[in-house]
């Protein structure tokens, strides 16, 4: 991405209400970072954040196994290895839950080095997200001309495969600018999320990839260095209606639509930090029903 394009993205912070909402989000994440419950048990809290994030991102895909709390318990069992990854594989809702668990678990290993190779990172997230949803030959690669994609009922017809690929390339460049400190990380996370969700560069799993990428950027680039905030839950608030509406506004391409999306994202990060505080409170009180981090990692790399 050229310096002019980076400046244009950074300039989005000057849209009405965006800078103010971003500051509120950053303050919320700062409070979370210094929560007493995270002094010695941040890995445990971060593991629970991934559980709740995977549950929320599955809900945003329309998958809820048996009520919200039951969903959390199911995903927790998946990530600690107590639930088989191949059980109920014929159920489309279950396949989506598996995809959500896989891609959210994949964010655990993302670090600065991965963001410096954004094409590989995004391909890896897509491979995790689309396993079981797409044929193997479509995993990790953008859709080709003539290949369909989903999301038309909310976002309208998808851009052409050529346009989607170009927009994905711009996202890769934008991620590099965030790592280098040339663009605000919260702004980059929001724009990258929207571009993948709206341009739909993959045949399936675009929303899952977009939300996992946002989580990764927020953590790696220091907005939420603990990884305990739950950005997916922030978007899923109010059954995701605000999220879908804000994405549709961004997809319209006008300045007001972009502004609405950016404000929504900042507000969702503030809600994500509040959910992280609830996790930290549970950790401090000893009421968190999560496995130890090693157990969570042990269940996080299924072959599906």
Q: Considering the domain boundaries, does residue 120 fall inside one?
A: yes
Residue 80 has a pLDDT of 83
Three-state DSSP at 77 gives helix
Q: Using the predicted structure, report yes or no on whether residue 69 has a pLDDT greater than 60.
A: no
Q: What is the CATH number of the domain that holds 234?
A: 1.10.3290.10
Q: What is the pTM of this model?
A: 0.90
| DSSP β-bridge partners for residue 131 | 134
Query: Does any domain span residue 302?
Result: no
Q: Is residue 304 part of a domain?
A: no
Mean pLDDT of 189-209: 97
Using CA atoms, how far apart are residues 20 and 124, in angstroms rounded to an integer?
34
Instruction: Assess if residue 27 is contained within a domain.
Output: yes
Q: Flag whether 79 is in a domain.
A: yes
Residue 42 lies in a domain: yes
Task: Give the span between the Cα atoms of 174 and 116, in whole angstroms.
Answer: 11
Give the domain range for residue 123: 3-293
The verdict on residue 180 lying in a domain is yes
Residue 298, in any domain of the structure: no
Q: Which of 57-66, 84-93, 112-121 has the lowest mean pLDDT?
A: 84-93
Specify whether the CB–CB gap between 261 and 81 falls below 8 A. Answer: no
Domain total in the chain? 1
* Structure letter (DSSP) for residue 131: B
Of 36, 60, 14, 40, the C-alpha closest to 208 is 60
Reported as half-sphere exposure (CB side, CA atoms, 13 A), residue 221 has a value of 26
Asked if residue 271 has pLDDT above 50, the reply is yes
The CA-based diameter of the chain, rounded to the nearest angstrom, is 54
The full 3-state SS of 59-103, as one line of letters, equals HHCCCCCCCHHHHHHHHHHHHHCCCCCCCCCCCHHHHHHHHHHHH
Check pLDDT > 90 for residue 5.
no
Q: Residue written as tokens 């269940």?
A: 299
Query: 10 Å Cβ neighbour count for 167?
Result: 17
CB atoms closer than 10 angstroms to residue 79 = 28
pLDDT at 290: 43
Distance between alpha carbon 140 and the CA centroid of its chain, in Å?
Answer: 17
């Amino acid at each position: 991405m050229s310096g002019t394009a980076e400046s244009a993205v950074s300039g989005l912070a000057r849209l009405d209400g965006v800078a103010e909402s971003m500051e509120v989000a950053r303050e919320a994440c700062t409070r979370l970072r210094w929560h007493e419950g995270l002094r010695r048990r941040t890995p445990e809290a971060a593991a629970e954040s991934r559980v709740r994030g995977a549950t929320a991102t599955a809900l945003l895909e329309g998958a809820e196994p048996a009520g919200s709390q039951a969903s959390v318990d199911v995903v927790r069992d998946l990530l600690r290895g107590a639930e088989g990854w191949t059980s109920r594989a014929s159920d489309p809702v279950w396949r989506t839950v598996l995809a959500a668990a896989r891609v959210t678990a994949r964010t655990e290993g993302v670090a600065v080095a991965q963001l410096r190779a954004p094409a590989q990172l995004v391909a890896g997230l897509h491979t995790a997200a689309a396993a079981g949803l797409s044929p193997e030959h479509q995993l990790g690669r953008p859709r080709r001309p003539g290949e369909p994609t989903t999301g038309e009922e909310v976002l309208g017809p998808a851009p052409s495969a050529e346009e989607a690929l170009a927009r994905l390339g711009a996202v890769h460049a934008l991620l590099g600018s965030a790592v280098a400190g040339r663009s605000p990380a919260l702004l980059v996370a929001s724009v990258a999320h929207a571009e993948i969700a709206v341009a739909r560069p993959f045949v399936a799993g675009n929303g899952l990839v977009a939300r996992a990428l946002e989580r990764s950027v927020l953590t790696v680039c220091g907005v939420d260095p603990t990884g305990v905030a739950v950005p997916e839950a922030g978007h899923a608030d109010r059954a995701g209606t605000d999220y879908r509406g804000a994405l549709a506004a961004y997809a319209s391409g006008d300045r007001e639509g972009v502004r609405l999306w950016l404000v929504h994202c900042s507000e969702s990060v503030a809600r994500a930090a509040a959910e992280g505080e609830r996790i930290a409170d549970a950790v401090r009180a000893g009421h968190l029903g999560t496995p130890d981090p090693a157990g969570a990692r042990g269940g996080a790399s299924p072959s599906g």
